[in-house]
Chains A and B, each alone.
Chain A
């Protein structure tokens, strides 16, 4: 391991710096935008916010809760004030508090950050805390005990400002603090040479196509033929990004200066297969056209993917055995059926499978679930065994009953009581205030006989709070 002595390392850097500056001839100018949040902010929002900063400059470096814009080329388009106000609006849109955002300008990224934080760059004025700001401008490292100890050591040695560091020869510090001080020196003096990794943006998933009005595309079928190639291209790119589609938006631009028609299409499960997407699109478009047909021919359509989802592993399974083939087909049809029914019925929640829960109240003892594969490994239900026998039918609205001697009075008429089981007393959930609070019911199974001898078995409960008898289910 060749130990490059410090001198020639400094020498090498200086030479490189000279060559670079002349070649480029341009002076870098970094603008720092710091969100002013101590804790890390929401990752996606921050990425989208950074992406939105592309409109100012192609060169972005993203740190933690702060972004650096290299504005040397687009310097003349904006001044700091307009840039600040626009960024404030953008931040507001992505949910960040724009009043706390801080800005700063500097020749290099560390200088920009120090300017943002300490409002000046005079070495003789900067306190020792700026030492770590130079080392870690992108704020990737949490301030920890080692940092606090280092600062107290500096205070003991009487170092008050960054400038006082240079009263002692650099080599003495290098020997003591090794690469930490080396990084500090490099960031301080040769900031622009360091290649900070630029922010790579995700290409927007939007496809557009135009045609001239004479083709007179006015109905769903015509549109479908035009949309098909767009869908293919989108699916290609999605496949490479290993994502699937959850929501698509079609914007139809008409011949006349009329506001565009926007059709959004959301799927219960993220879809990837091209065939199914086309079928669903055709279904949606035909229904849309039936409801309010197009007044003018469409000249341009733009399809944008609004929401993407994780790609389901199953769809990439290589099916070798016949059974796998069958299972995959069934699953494909299941997804298709569920998505289709979701569109057909008024709202998507009406298509569901049931799962039992441990809630005492009968009406809350099951919940709606929608599984992405038709029959997952059979889940043994352990809850139902913990309750006494439940009725086959549960009335959505419990009907009030009135007891008259040996009879029970319901709207339909009088029913003779044949037998009453032992009680099942359910009470509690006083803590569940938001969902109705405490309940106190005593359930009985009552065998009744109607006028023409037909005998039924009811599930009746007495609400202890109100003292009323209610019919809740039929066996």
Chain B
């Protein structure tokens, strides 16, 4: 029942938020996000004893039940969602928003959708939430975004919608393999999929994977991403990049790898190559960006590329690393976006060439930015290190003739990552002070939000054991 609350709390408060006037929505959203975070923390903590289930009949003659399951990976991502949304609400507390009721309402609805995706243990429930998470984000971007928002988000919507429909066909096909009272349950889909002959798995793989590939996004399905990130308002960009791309990764781990093992084996080489091309390509593009937001968008493609390469490397270490890194990347990139939005609010620009000297004008913010950026590069003692280390280790152990080539080329991405991140730091934090007028440093709510992020970054960098323990069972179940 407590799992249903994870979905219901943001859903109901989200609907109520539409009816509020003035500042009510803001308070409601903050309270709701804190409650949701607390529940997700409780679910994660409880996970060490036994995973929680929730099942109730939904549409029996379709073979689908409303079935939720919070195992280690699910509860970790729910926790991530809880934390990120809460931090976003905290930081945007004193930022006035037009039509606040609708804004916060849609944010909460998208949170409900995300929770549903991470918890669903029934393919049709999963599909429904997969779509429901998208719709509020579409409206958020189109209403509160930048100048070219309508075209950018429309492209994003159609891209992801095509993917979802293909996935729907794939899921129907799988459920049809062994029809019955709960043919959509995860275990049933898994049996149906893994008992298909290899040749069929190979094409069903693409039906399902295309949706995830678009969401992650991996090269060459990424073209919607930089525009959408750039045009969205920052709170929405955070939802998109910290949480929604994790949907793709999570879905691959839950609804693809165990379900079509032979299909995955057949295509894994291809996907790894695509991912690695994506890493290098996105890193190169990130270097030449002057807009910080676009730069982070490309860096996100590179990071997700590394994760997807490690997933398809099909090693225990790699899988485990991906799960840990999903959480870490979510935390780190949230921090980056938050600082970017603070910079934009204060100086009115995101152009690196026009920024400089933050270290003297806003020292606290500069320190935060440096720590978060270092975590993004994957410096030891930050949370980024442990995940990246495991990813590379996993990629290296992969059973492929080219594993060293993969390693080397993907490693190039890390070096390039250092190049663009440090370049950004140099231009904004240091550089000439004259360009930046002295304004207010961090406000108390901003301080609080960033403090949560930085504490997590350092804590998980020094002591990643809780995160590793939470997910090790799932990784072992995928690849012993």
Q: Do A and B bind each other?
A: no
- B residues within 8 Å of A by Cβ? none
